[in-house]
Structure 1
Amino acid sequence: MKPIKHVVIAGGGTAGWITAALLNKVLGKVINITLIESSSIGTVGVGEATIPPIIQLNNALGINEQEFINETNATIKLGIEFENWKAPTHRYMHAFGSIGKDFPFCDFYNFWLKGHITGCEDELWDFSLNYQAAKQHKFAPLNTIPNTQLPGLSYAYHFDATLYAEYLKKLAISRGVKHIDAKISEVTQCLTTGNVETLILDDNKQINGDLFIDCTGLCALLIEKTLNTGFVDWSHYLPCDSAIAVQTKSNDELKPYTQSIAHSAGWQWQIPLQSRIGNGLVYCSRYLSDEDAKTLLLNNLPADPITEPRFIKFKTGRRIKQWHKNVVAVGLSSGFLEPLESTSIHLIQSAVTRLIKLFPHHGISDALASEFNKQSVIEIEHIRDFIILHYKLTEREDSAFWRQCMQMDIPDSLNHKLNLFKQTGKVMREDDELFAEIAWQQVMIGQGLMPDDYSTIVDSLTNEQLSDLFISLKTLINSTVEKLPTHKEFLASIKRAS
């Protein structure tokens, strides 16, 4: 077993530079890190929406939030609004943060469910601070608002993924990461073990390493083209296989949330940045041609386009192993899940964190690789199920695509969650899965799956007490939102402070 001293990252972009920056921050004193990327090779670079754990990543890297927001053209994200998913013109939101009031052994939505059954007309999201702030285009850290009894808003960011990668690149290089701008022309392997030994560049330089990180995106140069690791295809669960992306001018709204708008054979994203809006259409080529997809997207933009539409082809699924021999795949090289719940950057973050915890300091270990792969599979399959949920729980019968989604078989793990929620109103979170109970509750209720039962703890309150609880919560939430500055005002204050 050869000690791991030289780590080589193949590929830049968001995956490569998050990997380089985080490895360097934690292990930079005991390993050497070299990143190879070619400035002549573009990146997918459409992942502009994130989820709240991005704040932990930035904090771990010592990134100042004000500087980050200014450098990456960032805006605030309080949740994702889903339009037309349950049915045409229907909307609901997966809002970050809590809903209502925490009760011991009983989630708040049980109280709302009893109220709903007994004739209360309040929506679940009337009790979400995040939702109310999002729809009124407001935001501020709650510690800046005096005399509020509510916890802070839970938030993430929209940002320019290319600018974020450049920001991390400067940070990592300043801290000692070696950067090489070149194409990889050949990969050599050990004849005995099959491990990757050397990356030969287009200028004939040879880069040797002990551990290689594959951040080459959908190309998967090391993990698949070299090691032939294999792929688990999930297109029978998630039939979309194409995307088209375009940027448009900004508009005056600057919504602090992502929009996901379902169409006849897929869905459209709208992601507001400070100076532009990121747009795209994810679709199934079986039901929609590339040309028709382009027309559909261009006819449904919020402002005039400022870039040419760009097509991306993909297959949903994962590598059989994300760590194989001495190669670890991070980012799109490890697999692809469509960006419906903005998990792409988080999967990069969690993969690098997992690698740090299981780092093979004294040499490649089958036990470490096996544990890494086991955890990776559990994580991505939980996220896969959450994404399938949005498609399966539809009432749309207006197109062949949605009829297929409604009728398709789903994983047993997801089927169990749906049956448990329908019959008992319970959501059980397993193995530290990414999405909390409140996320599942919002999507299932938002898509029309109402439980047949609720917790008996709710009956400890009389109907009058329940009504008083609802009134006091709405009053507290609404009075807090009134005190918040607008999203635009918050971003302007960030610029003034820098």
Structure 2
Amino acid sequence: MQANSDPKPDGADAIRSVVVAGGGTAGWMAATYLAARLEGQGVKITVIESSAIGTVGVGEATVPAIRDFFKAIGLHDFDVLRASNGTPKLGIDFAGWAGENTRFFHPFGLYGLSSRGVPFHQYWLKLAHAGRRRDLADYSLCTEMARQGTFMLPVDNPVNELAVFDWAVHFDAARFAALLREVGQQRGIQLIDDVITHAVLDGQTGHIAQLETKAGLSVTGDLFIDCTGFRSMLLGETLDSKWVDWTGLLPCDRAVAMPCAAATAFDRPYTTSTAREAGWQWRIPLQHRVGNGYVYASSQLGDDEAAAVLRGSLEGAPLADPNFIRFGAGHRQSFWVGNCIGVGLAAGFLEPLESTAITLIQTALEKLVDLFPDRHCDPALAAEFNRATTLEYERIRDFIILHYHANRRHGQPLWDAMRAAPLPDKLAHKVALWRARGKLVRYEWEAFLDPSWLSMYAGFDMLPARHDPLADHFTQAQVEQALDHMREAIVAAAGHARPARDFVARLSGAAAPVRAA
């Protein structure tokens, strides 16, 4: 269908102007996504961003859904990787979480194959209960490639049924935001470089009518997107959406970030999360540097001590001074109030353990387009947006809590306390069903699906009391033979991958990286 070359809203009540308050990753993701999805509908989009105000800028790791966002705004994966000095990500390596000198991998892909309607992990558990336990990681192609430091692109017709996987990216957040700004302005998005001083409410509706700036501008709009970061200037300050505090469940409330030079050429296509006494440390490999950060509980560790720990663990020379970030886990009670929707840090925050900050920006925008209002902003639309987003935050929160709850770092106050802490009801139900019979429960608005939960349970050695009796349709010998064949298929598929450093090297060349045969 050809787009309307002379766009005219169907009715006088149609949204004709969207104002994005704040830039950075959240602001420009919002602006470019709305511009792409609302193309041809006569909607003017304006971003008010001050070049004098910095951004947090450490959101450098993603999950595979980000590639759907690239496609939605007309970017190819390679465009983003080149412009942002990005690298591929197959998952997260967890070091020290299950005890000193331990590690396990959370991959972006499935484990094994089901049979007769019985999930693969039930056959794996059958062998474990018979004293023939195997390493679950052996049945994940992502994990195998991560072990070997290799990478390839998924293909439509994989070499076998187990050669199915997904991938995400690491990128320089500042460069990514700059790329989006360029794309946005090419799409006609108006940029106002100024500082927002306050919002003016409509006396009748209570909606935001306009934003006033330091330079004396009055910017009107029908719909406002709050991307003002932790301040939450519109949603929190102006519209008084209260903060729901989860620091009692997730006590880490500080982070210090410091990039450094890489010790070797890129050879680890994954994020690393290393447990420390008062929290955990991230390592994110980019083309031009390595991103590092220490997320910690201020009740256990001071800022200077945290910076010293981080600096002492860097693999290369530091490339910047320590950047300290204060935060609290939680979210705004309402994400959509009147004609204002909070996106990114203005809406809520969960520590970056599973790289969900950008995911929450993306899903907020997808829900907004799905529920896109007219100028009246029917409260029913906002209510559904708030319901779904609250559930999404709670589901991610619970997945993160599981990492802490299942830890095996004994004798350290933070970790001992997290192991002993009561679980939220929904998470407690999940864990109970897993422990009883290896049952994986999926709720509405789950961000992480069964393989992700399975990687945690297995990584922390949380074996259930029994397996599904339907797995006993096959004998132990038959199951062992089937798992042998699956392992052979994984090894065969991984043989088509090439060193990850070669993939990254090709990004800077004229030729695009090739797909595996």
TM range (shorter): over 0.9
**Which shows bigger deviation, 42-51 or 189-198?**
189-198
Separation (CA, whole Å) in 1 of partners of 2:285 and 2:69: 22
Equivalences, count: 498
**Which shows bigger deviation, 48-57 or 360-369?**
360-369
Alpha carbons 2:433, 2:440 under 8 Å: kept:
yes
**Which shows bigger deviation, 279-288 or 193-202?**
193-202
Separation (CA, whole Å) in 1 of partners of 2:115 and 2:349: 38
The match for 2:364 is: 351
Alpha carbons 1:145, 1:484 under 8 Å: kept:
no
Q: TM-score, normalised by structure 2?
A: 0.94
Separation (CA, whole Å) in 2 of partners of 1:191 and 1:444: 54
Structure 1, unaligned stretches of length 5 or more?
Answer: none
Q: TM-score, normalised by structure 1?
A: 0.97
Separation (CA, whole Å) in 1 of partners of 2:354 and 2:117: 28
CA shift at 1:406, angstroms? 1.1
**Which shows bigger deviation, 405-414 or 279-288?**
405-414
Separation (CA, whole Å) in 2 of partners of 1:453 and 1:66: 46
The match for 2:19 is: 8
CA deviation string 1:86-110 (max 9, x = no partner): 2122111111101111334322111
> Does 2:497 align with 1:484?
yes
After TM superposition, the structure 1 = structure 2 runs for residues 67-78 of structure 1, keeping only pairs within 5 Å, are 67-78=79-90
CA shift at 1:362, angstroms? 4.8
Separation (CA, whole Å) in 1 of partners of 2:443 and 2:76: 33
SS in 1 for 2:219: strand
The match for 2:202 is: 190
Question: Which residue of 169, 172, 187 maps to 1:157?
Answer: 169
SS in 2 for 1:143: coil
The match for 2:217 is: 205
> Does 2:33 align with 1:22?
yes
Separation (CA, whole Å) in 1 of partners of 2:119 and 2:162: 17
Separation (CA, whole Å) in 1 of partners of 2:64 and 2:270: 12
CA shift at 1:442, angstroms? 1.0
CA deviation string 1:231-281 (max 9, x = no partner): 110000000010000000023252101000011110000000011000000
After TM superposition, the structure 1 = structure 2 runs for residues 95-134 of structure 1, keeping only pairs within 5 Å, are 95-134=107-146
Separation (CA, whole Å) in 1 of partners of 2:375 and 2:296: 46
SS in 2 for 1:153: coil
Separation (CA, whole Å) in 2 of partners of 1:362 and 1:36: 21
The structure-2 alpha-carbon separation of the partners of 1:144 and 1:2, relative to structure 1 and needing over 3 Å to count, comes to closer
Separation (CA, whole Å) in 2 of partners of 1:210 and 1:72: 33
The match for 1:382 is: 395
Structure 2, unaligned stretches of length 5 or more?
Answer: 1-11, 513-517
Alpha carbons 1:54, 1:346 under 8 Å: kept:
yes
The structure-2 alpha-carbon separation of the partners of 1:262 and 1:192, relative to structure 1 and needing over 3 Å to count, comes to same
Alpha carbons 1:145, 1:483 under 8 Å: kept:
no
Aligned-residue CA RMSD (Å): 1.6
The structure-2 alpha-carbon separation of the partners of 1:419 and 1:121, relative to structure 1 and needing over 3 Å to count, comes to closer
Separation (CA, whole Å) in 2 of partners of 1:262 and 1:179: 42
The match for 2:276 is: 263
After TM superposition, the structure 1 = structure 2 runs for residues 316-395 of structure 1, keeping only pairs within 5 Å, are 316-395=329-408
The match for 1:41 is: 53
Question: Which residue of 440, 447, 466 maps to 1:453?
Answer: 466
Separation (CA, whole Å) in 2 of partners of 1:104 and 1:342: 35
CA shift at 1:29, angstroms? 2.4
Equivalent residue letter for 2:26: A
Separation (CA, whole Å) in 2 of partners of 1:146 and 1:403: 44
Equivalent residue letter for 1:479: A
The match for 1:55 is: 67
Alpha carbons 2:388, 2:445 under 8 Å: kept:
no
SS in 2 for 1:39: coil
The structure-2 alpha-carbon separation of the partners of 1:104 and 1:70, relative to structure 1 and needing over 3 Å to count, comes to farther
> Does 2:414 align with 1:408?
no
SS in 1 for 2:151: coil
CA shift at 1:435, angstroms? 0.6
> Does 2:98 align with 1:86?
yes
CA shift at 1:434, angstroms? 1.2
The match for 2:148 is: 136
Equivalent residue letter for 1:27: L
Alpha carbons 1:429, 1:437 under 8 Å: kept:
yes
**Which shows bigger deviation, 140-149 or 167-176?**
140-149
Equivalent residue letter for 2:289: R
The structure-2 alpha-carbon separation of the partners of 1:342 and 1:188, relative to structure 1 and needing over 3 Å to count, comes to same
Separation (CA, whole Å) in 1 of partners of 2:51 and 2:442: 42
Separation (CA, whole Å) in 2 of partners of 1:474 and 1:18: 40
CA deviation string 1:3-25 (max 9, x = no partner): 42111000011101111111000
Equivalent residue letter for 1:339: P
The match for 2:192 is: 180
Alpha carbons 2:25, 2:177 under 8 Å: kept:
yes
Alpha carbons 2:114, 2:120 under 8 Å: kept:
yes
CA shift at 1:470, angstroms? 1.5
Equivalent residue letter for 1:71: A
Alpha carbons 1:244, 1:309 under 8 Å: kept:
yes
After TM superposition, the structure 1 = structure 2 runs for residues 178-257 of structure 1, keeping only pairs within 5 Å, are 178-252=190-264, 254=266, 255-257=268-270
Equivalent residue letter for 1:58: F
CA shift at 1:2, angstroms? 4.8
Taking only the aligned residue pairs, the percentage that are identical comes to 39
